Amino acid sequence: MANLKALQVLNNPRAVTLAAIAVVATPMVVDNYRRYVALGESRFTKYGLFGWLAAVGMTAFSRETVSTKEYENGAPGSGKDKGWLEAEKMVERRGARPEVGWHCVPHRQIDRLPSEEMAKRIDEMFEKHVAANPTLVQLIDSSRLEQLHPGMVIHPDVEAPHLDAEWSLREIAHIHPTDHSMHLVLSPADAKIAIELGWAERHPLSGVTKALPLPGSYTLVYAPRNDEELAVVENMLVASINSSGAVFQTVSADARAPGLSSELYSTLTRLHDQPPKSKSGKKPAPAPFASKAAKTKKNPLFEAKPRNFGIGQDIQPTTDLTRFVKWPEYIRLQRQKVILHQRLKVPPAIAQFSHTLDRNTATQLFKLLNKYRPETKAEKKARLTETAAAVAENKDAAKDTKKPLFVKYGLNHIVALIEAKKASLVAIAHDVDPIELVVFLPALCRKMGVPYVIVKGKARLGTVVHKKTAAVVALQDVKSEDARDLATLVSAAKANYSDKYEEQRRQWGGGIRGNKSTAMLRKRAKASGQTLTAAQAGKL
């Protein structure tokens, strides 16, 4: 019976379609809800799932947040084209705009957040300006717009100067404790500057409908990360306070603003229904920060021209990009290998290969070796052809059986010559990999009394014998005119290697510290009153 019901469900296209939609949409819905909860508390979060549904529904009516075209409609003389921002403090914000949550409620910044110390300074700055303007603004425990966090509102004794002030329920600003961004009600001219310079963005629901207490210049100001950004944000907060005392569109308590619902209108006008206060003869406090700045005298000969390094502006100065270069892997590996050889302690048997022949002696050695380079295939073929032709012309002529003098190469061949004590001079490369191939050769040469030298490097030895690389080469016999040069090289080899073998077999290599470690040791020695030489600091 159960199988029959399952077949009936599978045969129903509508049920199958709904099930497929549910399977696909469930992860997306869960992810959206998690991102909503991660934004922090808002006026909707206390309603749980229903608050999330309301936030998603309101997001459908949101609009873009960074255009400023609507702020260009302020007619000159109406007051909407006036701003209170100090122009010299407004600079372009560095970097891209911070990421903001997908939901329009709550409207929060989710990355590039300030440190705990900077967050504390933002709160102190907010409270400082409330205390500095007690007759103009007031700090309330619960924001009229957020209904959770403290907010700055126009003082009850001050009449709302313009329609935006009443539209926002007389609220000027509030800070979000989760990210320390803030919502400000700026004048249209100031909102245009703040958005274009990258310091703020408009609320997605600002100015959408008169039913919401969000005027068109209701903006989210990004949280500052350093002292420079804090000064700019403070400039915008002061401009918001100043605009709350300005008049660019007078509100009439008798006339109802077009488009306002009856509930919102009763909220906005409840202050006008209170009984009139007795006149004390005192005038309202003037807007703060209205004093004229002293004019600075400019020198016409030397005029400062600060450059702007923003996107599409002045060309930035040249910078050393060495540390930003992504080197090929083989270069990184060989550099790391060199560092490891310097840091790690190297046994004497391997460390002796770092003591190579000096440059002048090495030049004389390779000059002699190049005289006895082995034959190439073409040279050998030409020699054999010439010999065969000579034999064919004179069959009774004595054959030249004398073996030519060449440099010997090949590891097994060289070892056999050393063991037979037939090698006159052995040249070993210092960079053989793996080193086990030649690590025994110095000890073998010393035991057999064969002079040896260690030279740079295997590629240079390879050019002598027409190969890419050669681990070791040897001279067995030389011509009489080169005997003196060979004797000089043999004496140098004995003085630098054979006679110093016992000394070198006790010396460990490596153990060289880096610059940071050396500086740390010197600092530690200085603190303890000891002296530390460069040689001592460089060794483990």
The model's pLDDT over 175-232, given as tens digits with 9 standing for 90+, comes to 888 888 888 888 888 888 888 888 888 888 887 777 777 787 888 899 898 888 888 8
Q: How many CA atoms lie within 13 A of 263 on its CB side?
A: 3
Distance, in Å, from the CA atom of 450 to the CA atom of 493, rounded to the nearest integer, reads: 10
Burial group, residue 436, by CB count within 10 angstroms (0-12, 13-18, 19+) = exposed
**403, 460 in Cβ contact below 8 A?**
no
**522 in helix, strand or coil?**
helix
- Confidence band for 529, pLDDT divided at 50, 70 and 90: confident
What pLDDT score was predicted for residue 75? 40
pLDDT given at position 102: 74
**Is residue 268 very low, low, confident or very high in pLDDT (cuts 50, 70, 90)?**
very low
Helix (H) or strand (E) holding 152: strand 151-154
Question: Percent of the chain having pLDDT more than 90?
Answer: 28
Label residue 151 exposed, middle or buried (CB < 10 Å: 0-12, 13-18, 19+).
buried
- CA-CA distance, 470 to 353, in Å (whole number)? 15
CA distances from 513 to 337, 480, 529 (A): 15, 50, 21
Q: What share of residues in the chain are helix, strand, coil (percent, to 5)?
A: 45, 10, 45
The mean per-residue pLDDT over the stretch 252-262 comes to 39
Rounded average pLDDT over 127-132: 86
Token digits of residue 133: 């303007």
pLDDT of residue 292: 62
Do residues 216 and 248 lie in contact, with contact meaning Cβ atoms separated by under 8 Å? no
Distances in Å between the Cα of 39 and the Cα atoms of 34, 222, 290 are 9, 15, 38
- Which has more confidence, 233 or 298? 233
Report the run of H or E that residue 191 belongs to, with start and end: helix 188-196
Share the mean pLDDT of the chain. 80
Amino acid at 415: V
- Least confident span in 153-167, 251-265, 328-342, 368-382: 251-265
Average pLDDT over residues 496-504: 88
Q: At what angle do helices 227-244 and 188-196 cross, to 10 degrees?
A: 160
Mean pLDDT lowest among 157-161, 238-242, 277-281, 361-365: 277-281
Which string of DSSP letters, residue by residue, matches 259-299? T--HHHHHHHTGGGGSPPPPP-SPPPPPPSS-SPPPPPPPP
489 or 295: which leads in pLDDT: 489
User: Which pLDDT belongs to residue 245?
Assistant: 66
pLDDT the model gives residue 285 = 61
Q: Is the pLDDT of residue 51 over 60?
A: yes
More confident residue, 526 or 147: 526
Please tell me the predicted confidence (pLDDT) of residue 276: 46
Q: How confident is the model at residue 50 (pLDDT cuts 50, 70, 90)?
A: confident
Which of 39-53, 88-102, 248-262 shows the lowest per-residue confidence on average (mean pLDDT)?
Answer: 248-262
Q: What three-state secondary structure class fits 118? A: helix
Q: What is the pLDDT of residue 481?
A: 92
Count the neighbouring beta carbons within 10 Å of the beta carbon of residue 472. 25
Q: Which element (helix H / strand E) includes 485?
A: helix 483-493
pLDDT of residue 252: 38
When pLDDT is cut at 50, 70 and 90, the band that residue 425 belongs to is: very high
Give the start-to-end residue ranges of the domains of the chain. 2-57, 62-270, 318-344+511-540, 346-387+403-508
Q: Which of 463, 465, 467, 428 is nearest to 446 (CA)?
A: 428
Report whether pLDDT(45) > 60.
Answer: yes
Q: What would the mean pLDDT of 285-314 be, rounded to a whole number?
A: 74
Closest CA to 194 of 332, 340, 347, 85: 85
Structure tokens at 29: 């819905």
Look at residue 273 in the predicted model and tell me its pLDDT: 42
Q: Between 366 and 294, name the one with better pLDDT.
A: 366
Question: Residue 437: its pLDDT value, please?
Answer: 95
249-258, 285-294, 370-379: which has the minimum mean pLDDT? Answer: 249-258
Can you read off the two tokens belonging to residue 517?
Answer: 């470690």
- The stretch 334-339 carries a mean pLDDT of 93
Determine the pLDDT at residue 78. 40
Least confident among 51-60, 243-252, 372-381, 494-503: 243-252
CATH superfamily of 346-387+403-508: Ribosomal protein L30/S12 (3.30.1330.30)
Q: Are 194 and 238 in contact (CB under 8 A)?
A: no
Which of 432, 429, 476, 470 is CA-nearest to residue 450? 476
Does this model's pTM top 0.85? My answer is no
Dump pLDDT digits (tens) for 6-42: 555 556 677 667 767 776 777 777 777 777 777 777 7
Are 169 and 267 within 8 A, CB to CB?
Answer: yes
